């Protein structure tokens, strides 16, 4: 009793009124913390005594909850003891529930429970691209005509929501919403039913997992509705299916017509990401709902590291979506150029890396020595520097290759007395690029040179800075830093040159794009392909400046962003076009068409380069190559894969029966052991792994192709030389007599000299019109 001044009578009354259970004498009881767990259930194991699966799931949760006050799910959940926050019924089966660690362990022992995984946090993988991809060419109009009914294709975008007022989501001239669509337009703060239309056909929010982990959303500072205040979701949705907008630009940069890859397709926005991140229970609920709503394509520009297949809830849900005919396109991640940095590596997911286009935004650093260094920038403002004047230049690091807090221009590290009135050199890393400029500006600096580190190489990513700023490559940066450190009167100025087209070479694999190999299964080459992901113009929120900094009060209708987050929706949109043209194609067939028609040479006819090394990239960087939509529409041959084939792949991965059950829940699948090894999955890429035993010198993989070209077609195999192996294809010719006919071939690789590193090549089937290319990777594991 804390009210020590309360009269004695009042104290007695209080004791009478307070329930006995709440009176604690002695040390306070510490309740075990509850966190969110995703519970996968065996749908087929439900006893007949239950009227619904949710009732059964609830009883399982109730059986392990000591305070058994489990209540039914309701939308406006203010009760801390509410345990079930989602029920999954379509792409996966089970619930997301708030449990203590002990309760989760007890639940795993219950009959019918397949797996219990803790909540996982995911991060977002943060104009001219249609032309660069050939989608604006006059001769492509027949191929992609509206007669293809791409308006019947719905792409679900899992992201930060949508800004419905953007011109990219204008539905003028669009046909009525497809009859198969079952989605909804959820309302909330600043988002009403009228904000959905024939372009935005659905908008939903998923926040229970986020709130369970971080507390209630502050609805004064964040929209608890499908409205996008971050900008990322509007940008990706518009890249997928944005309507044509003439005169689109960012502060005058990249001026032209903006359009999505599939401007006739529909968008359904599933808001799963909030200011504090994106949580797996919400993502799974969105996938589950999206599949039930009737999406044809799912575009997911986020990731959360790599887990074994049976512990990767996103992979499990994507498997269920694939079973229902939905193609799932995911970003590969921004962990490059480090090897083994990929996310979203399951073979049934289309994994997309990032590359450049033939457009950049040149800017120049002019030094007091008379030397000019080429860079990139999207700066546009009133604080321009004079071309004819030179300003003091300062670098607060050392000649050491290791940056320090001041050289990184981290908040609070710059002394105004040192940087005021000067151009400051900042190393990339730790903090966002645009934030470094804000730190310089706050300290009185008049400009910034943003220098790449060795990891970024010579790749130039343009940013919409708040002060004059230019990004430069690592080599030139080292020279400029040396000049600033060794010259007492180092000076420079910065100039900006707008937009440049026809850049060579392009495409180039972005340095930040995550790389293989895929250590979950070396036999599955990842990423699958690359697509434009550097300096992409698309729709933006009206609630955030183009730099995404709170201090940026500029408002723009379009923004330029970079990341595999941007490349993923390019592929999602092209996949929507292919689905419209070929509605009977499976997700694997669409991916096959994209992979086998991808190109591996740039616009100078040389192998596509890696921005981090300026040397030729490999399939670990670019997968099958850069997407080529006009070729993908007519690939000639397809490497198709059915859901059972993917399940057989998992069987070959030595998963236990219990682990496999997580993937068997929809069709009660069992292993037929039709794949001798994982490498025999009918994947469009071929990755062969020679084991540690040197006595194994020959390996054979099998593939089956389906003819989707002319009924009578004759193909011959052409294999590029690969160091360390000889290659034999049997048969070396494929003679088709009818459309949709399937033929099988075997490729035998015989070691002639074991190599210490992977070697690369390609197999191409040619019929005089089509070139159906599969990348080849050969790996020799170190001898025992």
Picking from 299, 316, 298, the residue whose alpha carbon sits closest to that of residue 307 is 316
Alpha-carbon distance 329 to 335, whole Å? 18
Dmax over Cα atoms in the chain, in whole Å? 101
Alpha-carbon distance 700 to 749, whole Å? 6
Three-class DSSP labels, 193-262: HHHCCCCEEEEEECCHHHHHHHCCCCCCCCCCCCECCCCHHHHHHHHHHCCCEEEEEECCEEEEEECCCC
- Catalytic-labelled residue, pool 232, 235, 622, 626: 232
565 an active-site residue? yes
The token pair that represents 649 in the structure block: 């792949």
**740, 720 in Cβ contact below 8 A?**
no
Alpha-carbon distance 779 to 777, whole Å? 7
CA distances to 176, 243, 355 from 171, in Å: 10, 8, 30
Task: Kindly give, in sequence order, each residue whose CB lies less than 8 Å from that of residue 691, ignoring residues fewer than 6 positions away.
Answer: 781
Residue 439, Cβ density class (10 Å: 0-12 exposed, 13-18 middle, ≥19 buried): buried
The token pair that represents 324 in the structure block: 């229902």
180 an active-site residue? no
442 membership: H or E segment, kind and range: helix 433-442
- Catalytic-labelled residue, pool 87, 341, 562, 565: 565
**365, 473 in Cβ contact below 8 A?**
no
CA distances to 49, 186, 677, 730, 748 from 700, in Å: 51, 53, 10, 10, 4
Distance of CA 6 to the CA centre of its chain: 61
Write the DSSP string, 517-536. --TT-TTS-SS-EEEE-SSE
> CA dihedral in degrees (617, 618, 621, 622; nearest 10)?
90
327 membership: H or E segment, kind and range: strand 327-331
The token pair that represents 548 in the structure block: 């995404």
Question: SS3 for 437?
Answer: helix
Alpha-carbon distance 637 to 773, whole Å? 10
**196, 164 in Cβ contact below 8 A?**
yes
Alpha-carbon distance 376 to 500, whole Å? 11
Residue 216, Cβ density class (10 Å: 0-12 exposed, 13-18 middle, ≥19 buried): exposed
Alpha-carbon distance 641 to 40, whole Å? 25
Residue with tokens 């949705």, as numbered in its chain: 237
159 an active-site residue? yes
Sign of CA dihedral 438, 442, 448, 451: negative
Picking from 472, 389, 483, the residue whose alpha carbon sits closest to that of residue 426 is 472
Task: Kindly give, in sequence order, each residue whose CB lies less than 8 Å from that of residue 536, ignoring residues fewer than 6 positions away.
Answer: 127, 129, 235, 239, 560, 561, 562, 566
- Catalytic-labelled residue, pool 152, 159, 228, 312: 159
Beta bridge mates, 746: 702, 730
Distance of CA 396 to the CA centre of its chain: 36
Picking from 156, 329, 140, 230, the residue whose alpha carbon sits closest to that of residue 543 is 230
Strands 771-780 and 686-690: what pairing? parallel
The token pair that represents 562 in the structure block: 């970079």
The token pair that represents 137 in the structure block: 């060419």
**714, 743 in Cβ contact below 8 A?**
no
CA distances to 38, 40, 52, 102, 477 from 108, in Å: 11, 10, 21, 10, 55
Alpha-carbon distance 294 to 148, whole Å? 19
Residues acting as catalytic residues: 159, 232, 565
């Amino acid at each position: 009793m804390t009210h020590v001044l309360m009269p004695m009578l009042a104290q007695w009354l209080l004791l009478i009124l307070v329930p006995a259970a709440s009176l604690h004498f002695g040390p306070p009881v510490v309740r075990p913390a509850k966190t969110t767990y995703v519970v996968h259930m065996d749908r087929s194991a439900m006893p007949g005594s239950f009227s619904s699966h949710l009732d059964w799931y609830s009883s399982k949760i109730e059986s392990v909850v000591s305070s058994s006050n489990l209540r039914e799910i309701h939308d406006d959940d203010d009760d801390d003891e509410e345990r079930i926050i989602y029920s999954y019924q379509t792409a996966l089966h089970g619930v997301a529930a708030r449990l203590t660690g002990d309760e989760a362990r007890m639940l795993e022992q219950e009959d019918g429970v397949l797996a219990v995984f803790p909540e996982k946090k995911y991060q977002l993988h943060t104009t001219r691209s249609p032309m660069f991809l050939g989608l604006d060419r006059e001769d492509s109009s027949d191929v992609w005509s509206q007669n293809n009914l791409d308006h019947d294709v719905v792409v679900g975008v899992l992201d930060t929501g949508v800004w419905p007022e953007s011109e990219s989501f204008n539905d003028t001239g669009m046909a009525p919403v497809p009859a198969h669509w079952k989605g909804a337009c959820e309302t909330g703060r600043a988002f009403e039913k009228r904000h959905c239309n024939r372009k935005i056909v659905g908008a939903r929010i998923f926040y229970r997992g986020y709130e369970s982990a971080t507390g209630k959303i502050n609805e004064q500072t964040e929209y608890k509705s499908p409205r996008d205040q971050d900008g990322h979701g509007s940008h990706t949705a518009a890249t997928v299916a944005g309507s044509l907008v003439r005169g689109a630009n960012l502060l005058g940069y990249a001026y032209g017509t903006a359009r999505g890859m599939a401007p006739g397709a529909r968008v359904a926005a599933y808001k799963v990401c909030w200011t504090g991140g994106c949580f797996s229970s919400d993502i799974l609920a969105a996938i589950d709902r999206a599949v039930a709503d009737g999406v044809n394509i799912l575009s997911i520009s986020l990731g959360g590291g790599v887990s074994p297949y049976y512990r990767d809830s996103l992979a499990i849900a994507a498997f269920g979506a694939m079973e229902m005919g939905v193609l799932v396109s995911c970003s590969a991640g921004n962990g490059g150029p480090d090897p083994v940095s990929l996310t979203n590596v399951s073979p049934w997911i289309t994994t997309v890396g990032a590359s450049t286009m033939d457009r950049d935004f040149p800017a120049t650093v002019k030094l007091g020595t008379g030397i000019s260094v080429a860079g990139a920038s999207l700066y546009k403002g009133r604080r321009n520097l004079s071309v004819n004047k030179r300003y003091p230049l300062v670098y607060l690091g050392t000649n050491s290759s290791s940056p320090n807090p001041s050289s990184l221009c981290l908040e609070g590290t710059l002394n105004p007395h040192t940087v005021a009135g000067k151009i400051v050199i900042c190393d990339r890393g730790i903090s966002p690029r645009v934030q470094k400029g804000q730190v310089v500006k706050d300290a009185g600096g008049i400009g910034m040179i943003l220098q790449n580190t060795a990891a970024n190489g010579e790749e130039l990513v343009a940013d919409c800075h708040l002060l004059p700023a230019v990004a430069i490559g690592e080599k030139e940066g080292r020279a400029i830093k040396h000049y600033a450190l060794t010259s007492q009167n180092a000076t420079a100025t910065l100039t900006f040159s707008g937009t440049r087209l026809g850049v060579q070479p392009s495409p180039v694999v972005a340095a930040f794009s995550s790389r293989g190999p895929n250590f979950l299964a070396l036999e599955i080459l990842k990423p699958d392909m690359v697509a434009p992901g550097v300096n992409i113009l698309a729709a933006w929120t009206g609630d955030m400046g183009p730099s995404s900094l709170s201090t940026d009060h500029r408002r723009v209708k379009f923004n330029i962003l970079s990341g595999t987050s941007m490349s993923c929706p390019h592929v999602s949109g092209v996949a929507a076009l292919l689905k419209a043209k070929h509605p009977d194609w499976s997700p694997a067939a669409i991916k096959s068409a994209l992979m086998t028609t991808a190109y591996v040479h740039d616009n100078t006819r040389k192998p596509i380069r890696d921005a981090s090394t300026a040397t030729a990239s490999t399939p670990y960087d670019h997968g099958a190559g850069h997407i080529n939509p006009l070729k993908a529409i007519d690939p000639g041959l397809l490497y198709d894969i059915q859901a059972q084939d993917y399940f057989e792949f998992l069987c070959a991965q030595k998963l236990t029966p219990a682990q496999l059950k997580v993937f068997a829940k929809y069709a009660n699948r069992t292993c037929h052991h039709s794949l001798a090894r994982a490498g025999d999955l009918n994947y469009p890429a071929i990755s062969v792994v020679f084991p540690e035993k040197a006595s194994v010198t020959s390996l054979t993989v099998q593939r089956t192709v389906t003819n989707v070209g002319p009924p009578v077609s004759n193909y011959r195999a052409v294999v590029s030389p690969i160091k360390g192996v000889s290659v034999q294809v049997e048969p070396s010719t494929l003679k088709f007599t009818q459309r949709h006919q399937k033929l099988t071939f075997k490729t035998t690789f015989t070691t002639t000299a074991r190599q210490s590193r992977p070697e690369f090549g390609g197999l191409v089937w040619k019929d005089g019109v089509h070139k159906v290319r599969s990348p080849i990777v050969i790996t020799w594991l170190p001898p025992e």
